[in-house]
């Protein structure tokens, strides 16, 4: 073996990137160190803290020495309540042995893509898309085929998807509500997607990270449609619903043969989720009552304040139907999204994420998270107004 080859990483990583958001965070840290106050809209975290009852359940698990290996698919108590939740709330006909507890949404998606994709197989991905999705696909040797979401909205889902279909297409990756746009697919659009997938015998990975952050309609799980469960891997996380981003807890539901491969991927990577964290998850599902609804009202308040404010300043910003992001257009400023985000940070101390980070279809936009204090939104908008008045 040549010396050069010895010091190479595997080909699987040749097209895998590191999040550009890390670069932005480093710039923010540097500015803060210099004493600047930054209006931070770049994040992706729920604004509240984890509810106390969840933290108490974790502490109690520690006190009771529930600290040993658990089954690598998850503790039966949690699997049981999650199955019930999927059956009743999501109308997904999952059975307990079709479920696995994973270390957050990212881990579930990782295991799902690993379980299905072969090198060279193509994945239809609506774009703009959550950046890691493309990297998760690349790590399997699979190929991402971007489908322009806005075009699909305007020209019809089926016609648009058809244009990207090839004999190599294996899978469609769906995320609704969507990050970064906040777009929520309507029931009709979801049905069209389901019919397309069935007609062309494809599989679906459904990323439902924001299922509890839908403002104007009920959340729809694609696996709930007739004949869809057997071809769908549904991925969920506690991160956004219960403000548990740092706990790393999620779950995946899929029928055979997929769930066995997903269980193998988890067994040979993390070998399951930390046991006290799973007891905390059980408390989240069984004991947290009004948290999600109360938060939804707070997110809506923040969304309306930010989106109306952006539109008043002349940014063209559609009202997002879900998640906690606004995605205004900056096209009229004549700069790339990276240039504009950098100028906004340097001159107005407003931190956002350039739209191009989320794929070519995101260019010409910025992502603002409104999961921040109301005061940050008001002062951030005032700083943005100053910035615009000086510039235009």
Ligand X SMILES: Cc1ncc(COP(=O)(O)O)c(C=O)c1O
Residues of this chain that interact with ligand X (CB under 6 A) are 44, 104-106, 130, 175, 179, 207, 209, 237, 239, 245, 250
Cβ distance to ligand X smaller for residue 209 or 353: 209
Between 309 and 354, CB nearer to ligand X: 354
Q: CA 242, CA 280: separation in Å to the nearest integer? A: 11
Specify the 3-state DSSP secondary structure of 145: strand
Let me know the angle formed at the C-alpha of 12 by 173 and 148, rounded to the nearest 5 degrees. Answer: 30
- Which residue's CB is nearer to ligand X, number 133 or number 224? 133
Tell me the residue number closest to ligand X, measured at CB.
Answer: 105
Query: Under a CB-based contact definition with an 8 Å cutoff, are residues 335 and 392 in contact?
Result: no
Task: Name the strand (E) or helix (H) holding 197.
Answer: helix 187-199
Cis-peptide, bond into residue 262, ω within 30° of zero: no
d(CA 344, CA 387): 8
Give the shortest CB-222-to-ligand X separation in angstroms: 15
| Cβ nearer to ligand X, comparing 237 with 349 | 237
The 8 Å CB, 24+ separation contacts for 183-187 are 183/149, 183/153, 183/320, 183/321, 183/322, 184/214, 184/216, 184/217, 184/320, 184/321, 184/322, 185/220, 186/217, 187/217, 187/220
Q: Which residues contact 59 (CB under 8 A, 6 or more apart)?
A: none
Helices then strands (H, E): number in the chain? 14, 12
Whichever of 180 and 309 has its CB closer to ligand X, that residue is 180
Q: Between 38 and 103, whose beta carbon lies closer to ligand X?
A: 103
350: β partners: 39
Shortest distance, CB of residue 247 to ligand X, whole angstroms?
A: 9
Which conformational region is residue 261 in: left (phi greater than 0), alpha (psi within -120 to 50 degrees), or beta?
Answer: alpha
Contact (Cβ atoms closer than 8 angstroms) between residue 366 and residue 352: yes
Shortest spacing between CB 325 and ligand X, in angstroms: 9
The distance of closest approach from Cβ of residue 180 to ligand X in the complex, given in angstroms and rounded to an integer, is: 8
Write down the least CB distance from residue 353 to ligand X, Å. Answer: 12
CB of 105 to ligand X, least distance (A): 3
Of 144 and 245, the one with the shorter C-beta distance to ligand X is: 245
Least separation in angstroms between CB 355 and ligand X: 15
Q: State how far the Cα of 172 lies from the Cα of 8, in Å rounded to an integer.
A: 32
Please list, residue by residue across 111-120, b when 16 or more beta carbons sit within 10 angstroms of its beta carbon and e when fewer do: bbbbbbbeee
CA distance 108 to 202: 20
- Between 44 and 364, CB nearer to ligand X: 44
Given 3-state DSSP classes, what are the helix, strand and coil percentages for the chain, each rounded to the nearest 5? 50, 15, 40
**Minimum CB distance to ligand X smaller for 57 or for 323:** 323
Which residue number, 83 or 176, has a Cβ lying nearer to ligand X?
176
């Amino acid at each position: 073996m040549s010396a050069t080859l010895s010091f190479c990483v595997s080909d699987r990583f040749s097209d895998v990137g590191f999040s550009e958001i890390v670069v932005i965070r480093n710039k923010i840290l540097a500015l803060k160190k210099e004493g600047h106050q930054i209006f931070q809209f770049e994040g992706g975290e729920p604004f509240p803290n984890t509810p106390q009852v969840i933290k108490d359940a974790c502490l109690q698990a520690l006190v009771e020495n529930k600290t040993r290996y658990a089954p690598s698919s998850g503790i039966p108590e949690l699997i049981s309540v999650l199955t019930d939740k999927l059956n009743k709330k999501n109308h997904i006909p999952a059975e307990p042995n079709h479920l696995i507890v994973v270390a957050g949404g990212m881990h579930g998606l990782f295991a799902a893509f690993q379980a299905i994709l072969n090198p060279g197989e193509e994945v239809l991905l609506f774009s703009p898309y959550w950046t890691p999705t493309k990297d998760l696909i690349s790590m399997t040797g699979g190929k991402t085929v971007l489908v322009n979401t806005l075009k699909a909205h305007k020209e019809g889902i089926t016609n648009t998807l058809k244009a990207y279909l090839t004999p190599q297409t294996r899978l469609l990756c769906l995320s609704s509500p969507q990050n970064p746009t906040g777009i929520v697919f309507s029931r009709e659009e979801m049905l069209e997607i389901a019919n397309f997938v069935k007609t062309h015998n494809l599989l679906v990975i459904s990323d439902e990270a924001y299922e509890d952050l839908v403002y104007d309609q009920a959340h729809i799980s694609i696996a709930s449609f007739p004949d869809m469960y057997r071809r769908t891997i549904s991925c969920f996380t506690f991160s956004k619903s219960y403000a548990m981003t740092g706990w790393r807890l999620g779950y995946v539901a899929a029928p055979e043969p997929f769930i066995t491969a997903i269980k193998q991927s988890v067994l040979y990577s993390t070998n399951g989720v930390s046991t006290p964290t799973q007891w905390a998850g059980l408390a989240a599902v069984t004991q947290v009552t009004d948290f999600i609804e109360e938060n939804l009202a707070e997110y809506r308040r923040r969304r309306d304040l930010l989106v109306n404010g952006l539109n008043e300043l002349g940014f063209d910003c559609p009202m997002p139907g879900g998640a906690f992001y606004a995605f205004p257009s900056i096209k009229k400023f004549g700069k790339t999204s990276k240039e504009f985000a950098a100028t906004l940070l340097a001159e107005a101390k407003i931190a956002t994420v350039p739209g191009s980070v989320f794929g070519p279809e995101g260019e010409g936009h910025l992502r603002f998270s409104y999961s921040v204090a109301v005061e940050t939104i008001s002062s951030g908008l005032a700083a943005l107004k100053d910035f615009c008045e000086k510039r235009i």
